Amino acid sequence: MPNQNDMRGEGLRIAGAKRVFIALWLGVLLLKLVVATQLPLFVDEAFYWQEGQHPGWAYSDLPGLTAWLIRLGVEVAGNNHFGVRLPFLLMGAALPWMMVGMVRRELGEGAAPWLAGSATVLLPLAGTLGIMALPDVPMALATMMCLDAGARLLRRVDYGAALLLAVGLAIGALSHYRFIAVIGVGVIALALLPNGRRALRDPRVWIAIAFGAAAWVPLLAWNIENAEAGLRFQLVERHPWALHASGFSFIPLQMLFVSPLLLAGLLLAGWRAARHGEREVVRLFGLLGGLVVLGFFALGFFADTERVSFHWPLPGYLALIPLLPALLASWPRWLRRATWGLAGAGLAAVFAYYAAVSIPSVRAHSAAWKWYPSNFAGWNVLADAVEEELARMPGDTRLVADNFKIGAELGFRLDNPRIQVLDHPLNRFHGRAPQLQLWGLETPGRAQWGDDPVLLVVGASDVPYRNLLRRYHALCERVGPLPAPARVLNIDHGSQRFLLFALKGGAGADVGCTAPAMAWVDTPVSGDRAGWPLEVAGWAFKDGVGLSRVEVLLDGTPVAEAEYGLEAPGIAGYWEISTDPSHPRVGFRAQVEAQPLLRPGRYWLGLRLHGQDGSVEDWSEQPIIIE
């Protein structure tokens, strides 16, 4: 029998684990509240807000729950970042406590429940849930409810466990198509266990399953009424369904977003539990978690490689967390500390990223990086500019967005969910085009507007640069020749770039396409080191009218007049459809003499392009180091 000192030591260890969990939970919750109120809305969040303003049982991209929750939060706390994210913050805060309660009931009253709760808080994918209003949050809640119900059912089937399963299945069905994977793996895991098979023979379990299945009806009905548009996008169009090597990126990405030692511990614990677990509930956790994670790993070799998918295995990790404390108990103390430390560092890094994205000056400094957070950037600046331009235009001016991102973000900031949107590749790429059409918000262009004045907002950085000129010509086909932009917004040095056009009623629709200017700096390249005099060379053109002059800017200040009109014979051939009358003489060259007021350091090199029609457009900037 354990002596009194051992019992006292164990009691102190349990109390310490509980205090650490509560401190972590409170600290992370406070951080989430702060970040959630400051972080700009991600474009998907803005579109879900727009869906919430158009109540429906289901939508083209998702079941209805995410939009309903956002609408609820906005009605309770106002049309602001906190209101949009409030229900998701509450659900994210509940998950660690649900984990503690389940582990305490199933695996004992010691320190394990509090350690599992701490792991749920520190796991970067789980600990940050709720900062953004995304379907992964209710789906994680549904996963925990179904996992808890499954553990109860292994002991005995009762109405409480069946009800919990039914509610969890319904929440998952109303959250995302991806929850189908959790259901399928859950059924397989139960079927592999004797008591699981016994539970599956009980009619109460099948009533719960039927209730959960009924929650898919709104989504299925929407797809039947709309030519299976949602199903085709989620299951066919967004995935290549061909073997590719990108699936191997799953491993480093999961090490990054789970933390290396925590990932290793979760997978090892799942393997041991599935193979050698003495208790059925332990094997259930191992089977469910392991099959979900391995399933998404295998899917990565065939599925979508262009959209974010690193968060898909989260339900599997939640199932494996109850097994982690027992595994860590067998590790040496230094390895346990390293595991917790790396997990904490990973969570801190994610919070630091969100904080950096929330600070305009930090975001601007990262403008030339490959991972520049464009989907978070510049929407408040754009909304302010749009309001200023609308104030200068007639009262009956239509506001039209180039694509769903701009329409949704402006809609949230201007509290107008009815902003019309042009057809755009992004609308189809993200599965939003059918929904916009159902709302009557996709506009064909001038043919619908008649003589109405229009403020058209175009995202020049929303298409790959190689396709930008074709996008401008497509706009000309829909709205007529584009006038000089009323405003050019180079947010974060042009990494996020918007053009605002004040269009008058249908005049000039029979003339050729006048498009915004296009340019490129060949020398120096982005990030180059240079000295005085600074040699700058490249090309620039403007379809329809041509350019009259090009100025060179450093940090937004003109420092040289470029020699424009140099031979650049390959440019017209590359762009093919360009109609600038100056081709092939569209090259430029400039020599910037030493600037006494500029000390050595990092500067942003830009261009100011003057059109023959009187337009003036500042081009995107690139960083250089002047020595």
Q: What is the pLDDT of residues 388-406, one digit of tens each?
A: 999 999 988 999 999 999 9
Cα–Cα distance for residue pair 519/379, rounded to 1 Å: 25
Cα–Cα distance for residue pair 356/353, rounded to 1 Å: 5
Q: How much is the average pLDDT of 376-380?
A: 90
Which residues are bridge partners to 466 per DSSP? none
pLDDT at 481: 82
| Ranges 91-105, 229-243, 263-277, 581-595: which has the least confidence | 229-243
Cα–Cα distance for residue pair 605/524, rounded to 1 Å: 9
Name every residue whose Cβ is closer than 8 Å to that of residue 261 and which is 6 or more positions away in sequence: 335, 338, 339, 342, 343
Q: How much is the average pLDDT of 11-16?
A: 80
Cα–Cα distance for residue pair 543/290, rounded to 1 Å: 56
Residue 54: name the closest of 421, 407, 439 by CA.
Answer: 439
3-state SS class at 129: coil
Query: Is residue 120 scored above 70 in pLDDT?
Result: yes
3-state SS class at 371: coil
Q: How much is the average pLDDT of 462-479?
A: 92
Model pLDDT for residues 553-600, shown as the tens digit of each residue:
998 899 999 999 999 989 999 998 999 999 999 999 999 888 777 788
Model pLDDT for residues 424-442, shown as the tens digit of each residue:
999 998 889 999 999 999 9
pLDDT at 398: 94
Cα–Cα distance for residue pair 496/467, rounded to 1 Å: 16
3-state SS class at 517: strand
pLDDT at 222: 92
Query: Is residue 529 scored above 70 in pLDDT?
Result: yes
Please state, in angstroms and as integers, the Cα–Cα distance from residue 249 to each residue in 34, 245, 395, following that order. Answer: 32, 8, 52
**Which residue type, as a one-letter code, is found at position 578?**
S
Cα dihedral 403→404→410→415 (10° resolution): 140
Write out the two tokens for 197. 């098979």
Query: Is residue 2 scored above 60 in pLDDT?
Result: no
Residue 323 DSSP class: G
332, exposed or middle or buried, with CB in 10 Å at 0-12, 13-18, 19+? exposed
Name every residue whose Cβ is closer than 8 Å to that of residue 513 and which is 6 or more positions away in sequence: 472, 473, 476, 477, 481, 482, 543, 544, 579
Query: Is residue 360 scored above 60 in pLDDT?
Result: yes
DSSP string, 548-581: EEEEEEETTEEEEE-EEEE--HHHHHHHSS---T
Please state, in angstroms and as integers, the Cα–Cα distance from residue 385 to each residue in 381, 499, 570, following that order. Answer: 6, 10, 37
Whether residue 360 has a cis bond before it, omega within 30° of 0: no
pLDDT at 84: 97
Name every residue whose Cβ is closer than 8 Å to that of residue 220 and which is 6 or more positions away in sequence: none
Which residues are bridge partners to 375 per DSSP? none
**Cross-sheet strand order for the sheet of 587-592:** 517-523, 534-542, 587-592, 563-566
Q: How much is the average pLDDT of 51-67?
A: 94
What's the length of the chain? Answer: 627
Q: Beta strands 420-422 and 442-443: pairing type?
A: parallel
Query: Is residue 509 scored above 50 in pLDDT?
Result: no
pLDDT at 272: 92
Model pLDDT for residues 136-158, shown as the tens digit of each residue:
999 999 999 999 999 999 999 99
Q: How confident is the model at residue 254 (pLDDT cuts 50, 70, 90)?
A: confident
Q: How much is the average pLDDT of 412-418?
A: 95
Spell out the alpha helix ranges (H) of 441-537: 446-449, 465-479
pLDDT at 508: 47
3-state SS class at 35: helix
Cα–Cα distance for residue pair 120/18, rounded to 1 Å: 14
How large a percentage of the chain has pLDDT more than 90? 70
Residue 626, φ and ψ in degrees, nearest 5: -95, 125
How large a percentage of the chain has pLDDT more than 70? 96
pLDDT at 310: 78
Query: Is residue 465 scored above 70 in pLDDT?
Result: yes
Q: How confident is the model at residue 29 (pLDDT cuts 50, 70, 90)?
A: very high
Name every residue whose Cβ is closer than 8 Å to that of residue 108 and which is 6 or more positions away in sequence: none
Query: Is residue 7 scored above 70 in pLDDT?
Result: no
Tell me the whole-structure pTM to 2 decimals.
Answer: 0.92
Cα–Cα distance for residue pair 241/45, rounded to 1 Å: 28
Query: Is residue 308 scored above 90 in pLDDT?
Result: no
Write out the two tokens for 281. 């509930």
| Ranges 14-23, 185-194, 229-238, 618-627: which has the least confidence | 229-238
Q: How much is the average pLDDT of 161-169?
A: 97
Q: How much is the average pLDDT of 476-492?
A: 89
| Ranges 42-46, 137-141, 240-244, 269-273: which has the least confidence | 240-244
Query: Is residue 451 scored above 80 in pLDDT?
Result: yes
Number of helices (H) and strands (E) in the chain: give both, helices first. Answer: 27, 16
Q: How confident is the model at residue 458 (pLDDT cuts 50, 70, 90)?
A: very high
To the nearest whole number, what is the mean pLDDT of the chain? Answer: 90
